[in-house]
Homo-oligomer: A and B are copies of this chain.
Amino acid sequence: MERQCRTTRQRLVILEKLRGVTSHPTADEIYSMTRERLPRVSLGTVYRNLDLLARQGEIACLENAGFQKRFDGNTEPHHHVRCRICGRVADVPARFDLPSASGVKVDGFMLTGVRLEFEGLCSDCASSH
């Protein structure tokens, strides 16, 4: 069941470039960085390798970016759980104390808010997993 996985020059360069920065680049930024070394690499290859490396735990894919936008008619303070399989979102009561971040400065950023997000398995995906 373990995936066969060949070591290609493209994957090594992509990983090395990403490990070499702390800027949390987007796929097209990684594409540019990779082309410095491999001018003929394709964007599709970059996406395929980022996906593979993330599934292997070699790199991290940030937060919920890339998902479709979702909207909430409830503007009272509360948290959310997102199903790691299907993306469905449900509410979590706001009963956790969050560090009050406003006004604090971190690494040049003036913080204005915090958000707690849970990740989980919805009942449908849990039963069919």
Instruction: Please report A residues at the B interface, Cβ cutoff 8 Å.
Output: 15, 18-28, 30, 50, 54, 57-75, 80-81, 83-84, 88-92, 96, 98-99, 101, 106-123, 126
Closest to A21 in B: B73
Q: How many copies does the complex hold?
A: 2
New A-B contacts (14) at CB < 8 Å, excluding given A19-B73, A60-B72, A113-B119: A23-B88, A24-B88, A26-B70, A26-B71, A58-B75, A61-B72, A64-B65, A65-B65, A65-B70, A81-B106, A112-B119, A114-B119, A115-B118, A117-B117
Structural contact, B63 and A66, CB atoms closer than 8 A = no
Closest to A53 in B: B71
Q: Is the interface of A mostly helix, strand, loop or mixed?
A: mixed
**In the A-B complex, the 10 residue pairs with the closest CB atoms:** A109-B120, A19-B73, A66-B69, A24-B89, A18-B73, A65-B67, A113-B119, A62-B70, A60-B72, A108-B123
Structural contact, B106 and A92, CB atoms closer than 8 A = yes
List B contacts of A89 (CB < 8 A).
Answer: 23-24, 62
Partner of A24, one of B15, B70, B119: B70
Query: With A109-B122, A121-B110 known to touch, is A80 a contact of B63 (CB < 8 Å)?
Result: yes
